[in-house]
A and B are shown apart, each in its own frame.
Chain A
Amino acid sequence: MKWTYPIVAFIVVFVLGFGLTNLIKEELEVSPWAESGAEEGRLMAHTKNVTRLVNAGAADLHAYLQTAIPYEEAKTAAMSPSEKNWQEFFIQSLKVDPEAKNVVVVPGGGKEALKWALPALYYAYFNGSPVLFYENGKLSGNTQSLNDKKIFIIGSGDEIPNLEELKEAERITANSPQHLALKLAEYRDEEAEFGWGREVNRNNGYFHYVLTIPDDALLGLAAITYARSNNATLLYAEEDGGISGELDRYAFAQRPDWFVTPSEGPFRHFWIVSNRISYAAQGRLDFAIEKAEYASMGPVALGDLEALLLILVIWGIASALFVWIHSMYTLPMVKMPIKISWALASLLLPILGPVLYINSYRRPAKEVEKGDWRWIRSHNQQSATATAMGFGYGANLMIVVGFILVWFGFPLFFGEGMEGPFFWLGAGMPIMMIAMYVFAVLIAWLLVQYPMKKSMMPEMSNKQLSKMALITTALSMLAVSLGMMTTSWYMLMNKIPMMPKEDDVLWFASMWLASFVGFLIAWPINWLLIKKHLKPGNV
């Protein structure tokens, strides 16, 4: 019967390993369905967090926005922007604020200069900052505007040299227009009132973003009205229509959370003005800034509670590996089923598992029969060991059964016969709990406790052994369940606003936490079982 223990361990490792691997896979995937029909049959291009302004060019977009956003405060020049007149277009659009505390210096000239200048032009237009263009070795415009204002030189780094009148200036540079746009989105000089300052810790702003690609910078300029009407920051996607890892990171950092209901602010929004940005990128951005509850921050993002509980899972895996490797190398006198049990128990008892394990075996031992060792332990320690023996297999099996049910879906019963005070017995969660207990007891009884007791008490009849194993398994796991079920109900149905699914780290983490509590509840109950000699605590 020795084969039964590794079989149980394999089931546990396989199912939970599969679940965790699936979780990691789904978190890492970007837009896996984008090219398999997600865009098929779409009647229009807008999504809930991304509005797409499909256009026939900068002139078309500019004309459209002049009608769509008619506000005096956000007016732009009447002329259409082009690669030749973009500086003039901007200067005519800009309403300089005489009290502005900053001046912006950007490269001037052709299309390449516009790519680098545009992110800064958005802020300057929003703020009313004077703008000077550097072209052909000199600055355009009135350099007197530099007096008493902080100068910001924005660009690629080597385009604008250290001129005499710019020696006090602060340079903001990057190695690509995309990086520069992101830098300006996060940058803030409070004294000079320069930069959007839209970092991850700005939780309250209703931030809007205009998104184009550097090659379509002119479209971004045509949409500069959004910088005033919607306080929109300019960001760049990649030339191939996708978004970079950095933009992906930034967008996820901007995902707003909610505490009471998702209708509370803020929300964030993208305005895509380049036709060349892909649907996959749009879908990713729409998803990245979708509001999520504080606990988990939704899929992919890592919420605070999620991060905290994830530590339990990671430490649990580390604890199990430590106990397994340590016992294999240093405790040849401990039998394999006991080692497996300690490793599985440690999986769900981060830190505590290894502490109890070490405390159990750093003690005097004696060989009662050939190959059969016993350790001298206190009553409390014996209780802990006895709890871990049942818990290691039982609690893990309960999670395995729970995961399988979540994966395939809970059954549901709501017929007229289910009305009345016990209607909740037809609900998935109670069914899952009952199934977790029943199936875990049955498997642990047949494949673990019965063979274990048989090897320890060979003189007892099979019937007696079977009965005794069933009672102790049922009692022991009932004790674990008391803590485990109440905690998992509290976590999944009460604490976490949206019940996590099988591909959510909070589901696993809640189970880990529930198991931990289950162990703490079962420990004193096993104290009684040890006292009644119903369980051994010195193996």
Chain B
Amino acid sequence: MIKYICNILLGILVISCGKTEGGPGGGSHPLQQEATATAYTVRLPGSNPEEQAILLTQTVYPATREDNAVGAIILVPQDEHIAFTAMHRITHMPVNAPMLFLSEDNTISEQTLREMKRLKPDGVLQDERTDVYAVNVPEDQVKKIRDILAYRVRTFYEEDPVKLASVLDRWQAALKADHPDEVVISAIDHPEGIQHGMGAMGWNAHMGKGFAWVYRDSIPQATKDILKRRYGDHGSFMYLTGGPDVISDKVARQLGEYGLVRRVAGKTVFASNTVNAGYKDFGRNWGWWWDWTPRSWGWGIAQAGHNYIIGNPDDVLYMIPAAVLGHMGKHGPILFVKADSVPKATADYLNMVKPFKTGPQETILNFAWIIGDTTSVNIATQQSVDRLLSPFDVPVDTSSYLPDAPILQEKKD
């Protein structure tokens, strides 16, 4: 009798473990042909922000079990500043949330709603098991999520991104019972303020540090409030994304009142993001008697063996949700290329981190995600990136890095 009971229990156990066989996984997928893979890159070929965001969630979260589904979902309108602020502060653990967009008419499209259903959020245990963080999402759309998907939704309504950063800072502090002392600061009124700070936003999606906005020549009150919340003699550790042309020296000096100020900046948006990828600041933060915590900010990647998220700086709404690739999987910083070429700053950086040939047991390889379809980053650029990432030599002829232009070698009439 005992033997039979044991057999039945064992059988139930084995059956309950589940199985991995099933229908062919390589079935038809509408964008599979566009999702070109090379040896070291894979393209996620979105042709609009909504589609790009869905491709990203599908890549990162297979959702075949609770552990590879999401903790929650960020839902935002297609507003660059709002999305940028939300991705900075919400994505990281313990929330574990990718970003999805509303349609241009501020409604949830059928495709996005279905993706939200597929993602099956586990709910953030530190926050009342919240499934969706809806930032400036119209109330009727929030109701739709609650009614149709039965998800728990936390809403944030703040049209001013500067103040939104402050609200999210308070929320994050409560979530973690702490204010992270490292604060990324970007310029809201500079046309390339977001692009200069994109890599730093990727770091925050990866590590969950603080974020605030400034104006090019002044500091808003909400940002001062954020910085004052940091305790200790040092105050905040601030990382300004962009040079003096993006955030003025005057603002940098004024920020010094709240703590230590550093710039993560290059002359172009391409350079700013390669600087960000290689940047590391560490040192003293907080200590008393038997315990101490250093400050530690930045990827600090200057050697082979890493992953990159590569896209076009003009595609801001494509790149913001792509930071989720730095949060899960192979992680890694964001870099920019042009649609038809790899700019020198990016190529130089990738040459620095180029791997080398190794044995079968100590293999070292790079990898990259290409964000957007071929209008964002064309095939030749993807191949150029692939070669830069590879352990193979880059040919002396670097014509593939040149944009299409009339050849100069021949005299024109």
A interface residues, Cβ below 8 angstroms from B: 25-26, 28-35, 37-49, 51-55, 68-74, 123, 126-127, 188, 195-198, 202, 204-208, 225-226, 229-231, 233, 238, 240-243, 248, 261-263, 265-267, 269, 272, 274-284, 286-287, 290-291, 298-300, 406, 408-416, 418-419, 423-424, 426-430, 493, 498-499, 501-503
Contacts and interface: CB of A to CB of B under 8 A. Distances in A.
A280 B22 CA distance: 7
Nearest to A275: B26
A46 B36 CA distance: 10
B313 interface: no
A71 B62 contact: no
B127 A280 contact: no
B29 to A, nearest CB: 5
Contacts of A262: 206, 331
Given A38-B118, A204-B362, A428-B127, A265 B306 contact: yes
B307 interface: yes
A151 to B, nearest CB: 19
Interface string B86-99: 00000001100000
A261 B207 contact: yes
B30 interface: yes
Nearest to B395: A72
B53 to A, nearest CB: 11
A25 B16 contact: yes
Interface stretch (B2-10, B169-177, B237-245, B247-255): B169-177
A71 B361 contact: no
Contacts of A208: 363, 365
B360 A198 contact: yes
A38 to B, nearest CB: 5
Q: How large is the interface on B (under 10, 10 to 19, 20 to 34, 35 or more residues)?
A: 35 or more
Given A33-B65, A261-B331, A48 B60 contact: yes
Please classify the interface of chain B as helix (H, G, I), strand (E, B), loop, or mixed, using the class held by over half of its residues. Answer: loop
B13 A28 contact: yes
Interface of B: 13, 16-27, 29-32, 34-40, 42, 44-45, 51, 54-55, 58-60, 62-69, 93-94, 111, 114-115, 117-118, 120, 122-130, 170-171, 173-178, 206-207, 229, 299, 301, 305-307, 325-326, 328-333, 358, 360-365, 367, 383, 387, 390, 392
Nearest to B34: A44
Contact of A54 (B18, B32, B170): B32
A48 B65 contact: no
A272 B173 contact: no
A427 B34 CA distance: 45
A413 B68 contact: no
B177 A265 contact: no
Contacts of B27: 275
14 contacts: A33-B66, A45-B26, A54-B32, A71-B392, A230-B39, A263-B331, A272-B26, A278-B22, A282-B25, A291-B330, A299-B67, A413-B174, A418-B170, A499-B94
Given A261-B206, A419-B229, A502-B125, A272 B59 contact: no
Given A29-B65, A49-B329, A188 B21 contact: no
B59 A231 contact: no
B26 A126 contact: no
Nearest to B382: A68
B273 to A, nearest CB: 15
Contact of B55 (A44, A197, A238, A267): A44
Contacts of B306: 263, 265
Nearest to B111: A41
A276 B29 contact: no
Contacts of A275: 24-27
B305 A206 contact: yes
B29 A31 contact: no
A205 B174 contact: no
A300 B17 CA distance: 12
A361 B388 CA distance: 74
A45 to B, nearest CB: 5
A291 B306 CA distance: 13
A127 B360 CA distance: 9
A270 to B, nearest CB: 12
Contact of A241 (B13, B23, B207): B23
Contacts of A74: 39
B37 A241 contact: no
A65 to B, nearest CB: 9
Contacts of A419: 170, 229
Contacts of B170: 414-416, 418-419, 423
A528 B331 CA distance: 54
Contact of B64 (A248, A279, A412): A279
Contact of A278 (B25, B63, B325): B25
Contacts of B22: 34-35, 241-242, 278-281
A410 B126 contact: yes
Given A43-B54, A418-B170, A229 B39 contact: yes
Contact of B26 (A26, A54, A503): A54
A68 B36 contact: yes
Contact of B62 (A68, A198, A286, A493): A286
Contacts of B20: 30-31, 34, 241-243, 248, 278, 280-281, 284
A412 B175 CA distance: 7
A409 B129 CA distance: 5
Nearest to B55: A43
Nearest to A69: B39
A300 B31 CA distance: 32
B331 A47 contact: no
A412 B37 contact: no
A317 to B, nearest CB: 18
A40 B331 contact: no
A29 B17 contact: yes
Nearest to A70: B383
Given A287-B62, A412-B175, A52 B25 contact: yes
A418 B20 CA distance: 48
Given A267-B307, A267-B367, A498-B93, A37 B118 contact: yes
B68 A300 contact: no
A411 B128 contact: yes
Contacts of B38: 68-69
A192 B201 CA distance: 49
Contacts of A272: 25-26
A150 B40 CA distance: 33
B127 A412 contact: yes
Contacts of B36: 68
Q: Would you list the 6 A-B pairs with minimal beta carbon distance, nearest first?
A: A275-B26, A242-B21, A283-B64, A48-B329, A409-B129, A278-B22
A292 B69 CA distance: 15
Nearest to A193: B359
A426 to B, nearest CB: 4
B272 to A, nearest CB: 19
Given A410-B128, A414-B173, 10 more contacts: A34-B20, A44-B30, A44-B58, A47-B62, A226-B39, A231-B365, A275-B25, A277-B26, A291-B330, A418-B174
B25 A241 contact: yes
A254 to B, nearest CB: 12
A35 B118 CA distance: 11
Residue from the set B30, B94, B365 with the largest chain A CB neighbour count within 10 Å: B365
B10 to A, nearest CB: 12
